[in-house]
């Protein structure tokens, strides 16, 4: 009832999962990941306890195949489970129990595991694998995961239809304010076209919840500081800092005011003043 990809970025700094299904809120059940440890997708007759157990095994130094073996050894319902795991080093493992509903299967390669059940056919996994392997290694992990998920959907996806999708990506210090490892955590819980909606949310995530790169940062000179204050006040804000907080652009402006993201500067300059 689900297809997913679990992967590590080519630079070895990010881990993530993308998943879609004809199932309500698939993102609540399938994915889990911890930066510097690894990632897992548990599906079919999902054993959600696998998430914590697998990450604990990986954190203790087990490789993905060893962690998977330990999970299955201790589970009398292993034949009904489907699992994908990628460890800290990018080693991948996947399992499809013989009792999983057709079509069911998976594939692994360097840095990724792909798996699905109740699929339109093997072409779903094959298309996901091709999309991953032909994507740009330097692209953000979330974008590569989304491209693979989209390819699977285009190839037929879940044979029963569409309902939900999710992306989870972790990287050290990537979270809000740099205080946790959550780079992307997006869910579309119930939607007629969940992967398209997930792509829209990822665009918003990039704007609001992704830190600016050095190349995107515009130094705030005294002249620019005056402009920022004047424009923010023209828009009805107390000052520029208040405008940033109101518009939720905290990740795109330096806390000490030393730089502003080029996109935020453009938005401020083009936004119409308050009546």
With a cut of 80, say whether residue 1 has pLDDT above it: no
- pLDDT value at position 227? 97
CA distances from 38 to 92, 152, 154 (A): 10, 23, 28
Is the confidence at residue 267, as pLDDT, over 90?
yes
pLDDT-based confidence at residue 119 (cuts at 50, 70, 90) = very high
Model pLDDT, residue 273: 80
DSSP 119: B
CA–CA gap between residue 180 and residue 250 (Å, rounded):
16
Is residue 274 pLDDT above 80, yes or no?
no
pLDDT digits (tens, 9 = 90+) for 209-235: 998 999 999 999 999 999 999 999 999
Q: Is 48 within 8 Å of 28 (Cβ atoms)?
A: no
With 90 as the cut, is the pLDDT of residue 158 above it? yes
- Residues of the chain with pLDDT > 90, as a percent, come to 96
Q: Which residue from 127, 96, 93 is spatially nearest to 1, judged by alpha carbons?
A: 96
Whether the full predicted model's pTM is greater than 0.75, yes or no, is yes
- Once rounded to an integer, what is the mean pLDDT over residues 103-107? 98
Architecture of the domain whose range is 2-208: 4-Layer Sandwich (3.60)
Write the pLDDT tens digit of every residue in 25-64.
Answer: 999 999 999 999 999 999 999 999 999 999 999 999 999 9
Where in the chain are all domains bearing CATH 3.60.20.10?
A: 2-208
Q: What's the whole-number average pLDDT of the chain?
A: 96
Residue 275 pLDDT > 70? no
> In 10 A of CB 196, how many CB atoms?
14
pLDDT higher than 70, residue 83: yes
């Amino acid at each position: 009832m689900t297809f997913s990809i679990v992967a590590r970025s080519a630079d070895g700094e990010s881990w993530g999962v993308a998943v879609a299904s004809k199932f309500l809120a698939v993102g609540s059940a399938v994915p889990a990941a911890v930066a510097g440890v690894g990632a897992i997708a548990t599906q079919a007759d999902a054993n959600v306890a696998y998430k914590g157990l697998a990450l604990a095994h990986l954190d203790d130094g087990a490789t993905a195949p060893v962690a998977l073996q330990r999970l299955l050894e201790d589970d009398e319902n292993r034949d009904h489970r489907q699992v994908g795991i990628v460890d800290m080093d990018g080693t991948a493992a996947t399992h499809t129990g013989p009792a999983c509903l057709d079509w069911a299967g998976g594939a692994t390669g360097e840095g990724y595991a792909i798996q699905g059940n109740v699929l339109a056919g093997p072409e779903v996994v094959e298309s996901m694998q091709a999309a991953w392997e032909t994507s740009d290694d330097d692209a953000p992990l979330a974008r590569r995961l989304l491209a693979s998920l989209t390819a699977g959907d285009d190839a037929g996806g879940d044979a029963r239809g569409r309902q939900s999708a999710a992306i989870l990506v972790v990287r050290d210090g990537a979270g809000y304010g740099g205080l946790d490892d959550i780079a992307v955590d997006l869910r579309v819980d119930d939607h007629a076209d969940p992967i398209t909606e997930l792509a829209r949310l990822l665009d918003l995530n990039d704007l609001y919840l992704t830190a600016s790169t050095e190349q995107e940062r515009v130094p705030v000179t005294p002249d620019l500081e005056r402009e920022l204050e004047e424009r923010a006040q023209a828009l009805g804000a107390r000052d520029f800092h208040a405008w940033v907080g109101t518009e939720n652009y905290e990740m795109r402006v330096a806390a000490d005011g030393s730089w502003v993201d080029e996109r935020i500067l453009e938005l401020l300059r083009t936004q119409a003043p308050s009546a």
